[in-house]
Amino acid sequence: MAHSPRTPHDALFRAIFDDPEAVRGELLAVLPSPLREMVGLATITRVPGRFADESFRGLETDALFRVELEGQPPLLVYVLFEHQSRVDPLMPWRLLQYMVAVWTKAMNEAPTRMRLPPLLPIVLSNAPGGWRTPRRLVDLLDAPRWLRAAMAANTPAFEFVLDDLVDVSVTDLSQRPLSPFAKLGLWLMRTARDRPRLEREFPTWDALLEGLKGRPRELFRLLVYLRAVANMSIDEVLALTRVRLGEPEDAEMITARDIWLSSFTPEWREEVEALARERGFEAGREEGKARGVELGLEQGLQEGRQAGLQEGRQEGRQEGRQEGHRQGLEEGLLAGQRLALLALLASKFGEVSHAHRARIDAASGELLARWLPRVLSGHGIDDVLAD
């Protein structure tokens, strides 16, 4: 219902199922046979899960998909996909609210429609101990069993599909038609809170993990989740996964900047990662390249007068690019830290004054590193920026 991931579990769930093919693989794994056969050739599209209708303004689904089944005309089925990291005894009631909101939106978009589109509610749970509460709406009625049975025909009746990860074996999970990232992500959601089980089962996934080492963003998401949920230090995570850190310019490896980002608490990590990467590090990388070319030309001309114009240009460009690239990355890191600090301060305390902005712009990397963690415990901007 929130507009951004509330927990590390929510963030990883959304990262996995942002891919329609992961949704297809999940549906093939949990649906009964007749539906499973139709889904295999269907077109799956993610649709917005927020609702403009005033009655549902506070609702937002975790994931809502439109599944277009083959036929003349095509048959549209909506899939309401919710994630739970803890058991919600009122889950059927919550789902009914979402379902009514989805149907209301569909009817508003097609005023001539006289029938509701099919809607399939699914819950993926990694709640400790497994799901042990009702899945049917009728079972939530505050009435004895005989009365619930007598009223069944007169009560909204549905039962949601449950994918309870706690009850899924490693073998079954590894055989699901999912990508390596999705399989590992679901396994971590199921296992990371049980440290002995995590360490016991981890070697089973060595081959899949090795394949992800060429996909640093996906790998980084798993490492951040593991660190946050298993309550492991960075060194423990690296020892368990055998991931080797790269240099700052190595885009194909997890780097020191990723470790810096992972020092934030889960509530801030997604926002800070996006802010620092998109507006700080990438800007710094591009600026570093441009400055490197300029420095290389200047230095190359100077050395060329002494040892030959052509040779000097080549050497100057190479050294200039390296130096400029390094400086650019360092400046980009500082820019990312400053932008992240400003964003966190504004979010927690409100508008940041010009004087405070000037202090942040003039601060060194060492000082910024001291200030950033204080945002979570500080009582005001002056408290955070105290020397």
Q: Say how far apart CA 288 and CA 234 lie, in whole Å.
A: 29
pLDDT reported for residue 58: 59
- How far is Cα of residue 77 from the mean position of the Cα atoms in its chain? 26
Q: CA triplet 311, 314, 320: central angle to 5 degrees?
A: 130
Q: What percent of the chain is predicted at pLDDT more than 90?
A: 22
Q: Say how far apart CA 43 and CA 24 lie, in whole Å.
A: 9
- Residue in 233, 280, 264 with CA at minimum distance from that of residue 372: 264
pLDDT reported for residue 200: 92
Q: What percent of the chain is predicted at pLDDT more than 70?
A: 71
Query: If you average pLDDT over residues 203-220, what whole number do you get?
Result: 83
More confident residue, 156 or 286: 156
Q: What is the pLDDT of residues 295-321, one digit of tens each?
A: 665 665 566 556 655 655 565 566 655
pLDDT reported for residue 9: 87
pLDDT reported for residue 183: 94
pLDDT reported for residue 372: 79
Q: What is the DSSP letter of 320?
A: H
Q: Say how far apart CA 186 and CA 283 lie, in whole Å.
A: 34
Q: Say how far apart CA 18 and CA 10 lie, in whole Å.
A: 12
Query: If you average pLDDT over residues 378-384, what whole number do you get?
Result: 81
pLDDT of residue 256 exceeding 50: no
Query: If you average pLDDT over residues 149-167, what whole number do you get?
Result: 89
Q: Say how far apart CA 104 and CA 365 lie, in whole Å.
A: 52
pLDDT reported for residue 105: 86
Q: What is the DSSP letter of 116?
A: P
Q: Say how far apart CA 125 and CA 89 lie, in whole Å.
A: 13
pLDDT reported for residue 68: 84
Helices (H) and strands (E) in the chain, counts: 18, 5
More confident residue, 341 or 148: 148
pLDDT of residue 85 exceeding 50: yes
pLDDT reported for residue 52: 52
pLDDT reported for residue 54: 54
Q: 159 - beta bridge partners?
A: 136
Q: Where are the domains of the chain?
A: 8-137+158-167, 268-352
Phi, psi of 45 (to 5 degrees): -130, 135
The model's confidence at residue 182, banded by pLDDT at 50, 70 and 90, is very high
More confident residue, 66 or 131: 131
Q: Per-residue DSSP letters for 184-253?
A: HHHHHHHHTT-HHHHHHHGGGGHHHHHHHTT-HHHHHHHHHHHHHHTT--HHHHHHHHTPPPB-TT-TTS
Q: Picking from 20-24, 33-37, 278-282, which range would have the lowest pLDDT averaged per residue?
A: 278-282
Q: Say how far apart CA 345 and CA 339 lie, in whole Å.
A: 10
More confident residue, 55 or 87: 87
Q: Picking from 224-238, 262-276, 296-310, 372-386, which range would have the lowest pLDDT averaged per residue?
A: 262-276
Q: Say how far apart CA 230 and CA 290 lie, in whole Å.
A: 42
pLDDT reported for residue 265: 46
Residue 65: its H or E element: strand 63-69
pLDDT reported for residue 271: 47
Q: What is the DSSP letter of 171?
A: H
Q: What is the DSSP letter of 127?
A: -
The model's confidence at residue 247, banded by pLDDT at 50, 70 and 90, is very low
pTM above 0.85, yes or no: no
pLDDT reported for residue 260: 44
pLDDT reported for residue 175: 93
Residue 77's Cβ-count burial label (10 Å; 0-12, 13-18, 19+) is middle
Q: Say how far apart CA 280 and CA 23 lie, in whole Å.
A: 33
Q: What is the chain's mean pLDDT, rounded?
A: 77
pLDDT of residue 377 exceeding 60: yes
Which range of 150-154, 155-159, 179-183 scores highest in mean pLDDT? It is 179-183
Q: Picking from 53-62, 145-154, 235-244, 341-350, which range would have the lowest pLDDT averaged per residue?
A: 53-62
Q: CA triplet 319, 322, 327: central angle to 5 degrees?
A: 120
